[in-house]
Amino acid sequence: MLNDLTVVVLAAGGGTRMRSKTPKMLHALGGRSLLGHVLAAVAETSPRSVVAVVGHQRELVGPHVSGLMPDCLLAVQEEQKGTGHALRVGVEAAKISSGTVLVALGDTPLLTGRSLRDFVAEHEAAQRAVSLLSGDVADPTGYGRVVRDEDGEVLAIIEHKDASPEQLELTEINSGIMAFEAGFLLDALPGLGNDNAQGEYYLTDLVGLAREAGLMVGAHLLDDVVQTEGVNDRTQLASLGRLLNDRVVERWMREGVTVVDPATTWIDVGVELERDVTILPGTQLLGTTSVGEDSVVGPDSTLRDCRVGRGATLTRVHGQSAEIGDGATVGPYSYLRPGTRLGADGKIGGFVETKNAVIGDGAKVPHLSYIGDAEIGEGTNIGAGTITANYDGVAKHRTVVGRHARTGSNNTFVAPTTIGDGASTGGGTVVRGDVPPGALAVSSGPMRVIDGWAEEKRAGTAQGEAAAAARRTPDDHDVTDPSSQPPARDLG
């Protein structure tokens, strides 16, 4: 059920201290933009409408908002004249007439929906004209101070640059998140002035206007004040990123996930984990990755937007947009590119790269291979050092290997090609055409030994001298006499 609540999200600031071509609101934290975190929290209040006030680089911020929350209205603050002016722009766009107006800041990524719901509920229950979300902090530098009278009632909010020395000693700060009764707000906004050190229209001056009108003003003191911390530069981004990650990791541990080393484990907010998953040190689970029960990931693994089944083991794996089936084994040092799908009980082994490849149940690509634009049937074993030559310089082509096939080491499959069910290929084979089911394909001829080649072609080098010395001093390991070698096997 929607509440009689309008939320105005202020997201017009320039964020110059980020020193970035990317708008501050779009910098990422835990796999989601700063603004995305705020919009997600706002959505949990079930508002009637949401307005995002954009300004700086609105050509980037606006579409980002619409992509995350299609029903969100966009209001443009052409000139950044302060938070009070931004709110007025948002209120005009929303055509508010009644209810509660909640003002949120687009750069407070730790704020939770629950905190916003509690704040709005207290504001409405107390029938206040103005409520502010405040916190008590050890270092209030840069924040507006909450000034109270002897009875503890809120008198005003004084911005840091406008505060007296006595007011600077106050430690209760205004988070900038506020709630208003719509009728009061509509009457008061035109009366805001900009007679201050910044020459801006302050949202916080509405507190004084409400007091002058004899209306109720209150503050909701948030125990977990870190939720209201904003991001102004890269150091704050990193600091809040660590705090957010600590909370995400702790949440999963309390839900039955083993995280061996929380300090070196990063889990994005969009990740889903089942119980009895084990995360080893140095692992990053990013984007929309999901991991099934009893799977082990790590150490030193990065998965982005991957889906891992139950009972799988991934060791030193880098994967993106890949699917790993139940009981599968991957790694070490495997690179799973988008479109990789490994079936149940399958294996992608050490130093294997896959891309747009479907590898069936129980199939194995154990060693040193590139499998791209390919389909490998169930139970098939791909020999070490196999390459799918999928690109002809113009277009990509597909390789298909059937069920229960066995391919030799150091093979090259020149796509497009199909190797049938139960077929085999010899070591070193270059497959340039289709191989029928059950057939053996071999492209290499008998081995040739050219006696004395190193002495003739590499004379004067260490190789040539070693060969000459070996001829002069035969020993049990001498292989210079071709007549002593077993006859070559012609596998053709």
110-139 pLDDT per residue, tens: 999 999 999 999 999 999 999 999 999 988
Say yes or no to pLDDT of 276 above 90: yes
Select from 364, 368, 366, 369 the least CA-distant residue to 389.
369
Give the residue-averaged pLDDT of 47-55.
97
What is the Cα–Cα distance from 128 to 107, expressed in whole angstroms?
26
With vertex at residue 1, the alpha carbon angle to CA 273 and CA 127, rounded to the nearest 5 degrees, is 110
Give the residue-averaged pLDDT of 306-318.
99
E runs forming strands in 113-215: 130-136, 144-148, 154-158, 172-181
3-class SS of residue 74: strand
Judge contact between 336 and 354, C-beta under 8 A: yes
Q: Note the pLDDT of residue 488.
A: 46
* Topology alike, domains 5-228 and 255-441: no
Q: Note the pLDDT of residue 80.
A: 87
Q: Which residues are within 8 A (CB) of 449 and not within 5 positions of it... i.e. 6 or more apart?
A: 482, 485
Q: Is the pTM of this model over 0.85?
A: yes
Say yes or no to pLDDT of 423 above 90: yes
Structure tokens at 70: 């299609």
Judge contact between 282 and 300, C-beta under 8 A: yes
- pLDDT for 324-355, tens place per residue? 999 999 999 999 999 999 999 999 999 999 99
Q: Note the pLDDT of residue 152.
A: 81
E runs forming strands in 247-379: 258-259, 266-267, 272-273, 278-279, 284-286, 290-291, 296-297, 302-304, 307-308, 313-314, 317-320, 323-324, 329-330, 334-336, 341-342, 347-350, 353-359, 364-367, 370-376
Going by the DSSP 8-state scheme, the letter that residue 48 receives in this structure is: S
Select from 72, 154, 157 the least CA-distant residue to 106.
72
Say yes or no to pLDDT of 271 above 60: yes
Select from 151, 100, 91 the least CA-distant residue to 125.
100
Give the residue-averaged pLDDT of 441-445.
87
Q: Note the pLDDT of residue 489.
A: 45
With vertex at residue 200, the alpha carbon angle to CA 221 and CA 222, rounded to the nearest 5 degrees, is 10
Q: Note the pLDDT of residue 490.
A: 46
> Cα–Cα distances in Å, from 145 out to 117, 142, 219, 220?
24, 9, 12, 14
Peptide bond into 436 cis (omega under 30): no
Q: Name the band, by pLDDT with cuts 50, 70 and 90, for residue 492.
A: very low
Question: What is the CATH number that goes with domain 255-441?
Answer: 2.160.10.10
Domain spanning 5-228, CATH class? alpha beta
Say yes or no to pLDDT of 482 above 90: no
Give the residue-averaged pLDDT of 144-152.
88
Judge contact between 178 and 103, C-beta under 8 A: yes
Residue with tokens 């692992």: 283
Beta-strand relationship, 323-324 and 144-148: unpaired
Q: Note the pLDDT of residue 484.
A: 52
Q: Note the pLDDT of residue 491.
A: 40
CA within 13 Å, CB half, 488: 10
What is the Cα–Cα distance from 343 to 324, expressed in whole angstroms?
6
359: which strand partners?
Answer: 342, 376
Going by the DSSP 8-state scheme, the letter that residue 185 receives in this structure is: H
E runs forming strands in 77-171: 100-105, 130-136, 144-148, 154-158
Q: Note the pLDDT of residue 159.
A: 84
Q: Name the band, by pLDDT with cuts 50, 70 and 90, for residue 149.
A: confident
Q: Note the pLDDT of residue 339.
A: 98
Residues identified as active-site = 367
Q: Note the pLDDT of residue 331.
A: 97
Amino acid making up residue 26? L
- pLDDT for 356-372, tens place per residue? 999 999 999 999 999 99
Select from 5, 97, 91, 4 the least CA-distant residue to 52.
91
- pLDDT for 410-421, tens place per residue? 999 999 999 999
> Cα–Cα distances in Å, from 18 out to 9, 232, 362?
20, 6, 50
Q: Sketch the domain layout of the chain as residue ranges.
A: 5-228, 255-441, 446-473
3-class SS of residue 400: strand
Lowest mean pLDDT among 24-33, 57-66, 143-152, 310-319: 143-152
CA within 13 Å, CB half, 30: 23
Say yes or no to pLDDT of 299 above 60: yes
Q: Between 446 and 350, name the one with better pLDDT.
A: 350
Q: If 0-12 CB within 10 Å is exposed, 13-18 middle and 19+ buried, where does residue 204 land?
A: buried
Mean pLDDT taken over the chain: 93
What is the Cα–Cα distance from 79 to 54, expressed in whole angstroms?
10
Give the residue-averaged pLDDT of 388-411.
96
Q: Note the pLDDT of residue 481.
A: 54
Give the residue-averaged pLDDT of 80-98.
93
Going by the DSSP 8-state scheme, the letter that residue 24 receives in this structure is: G
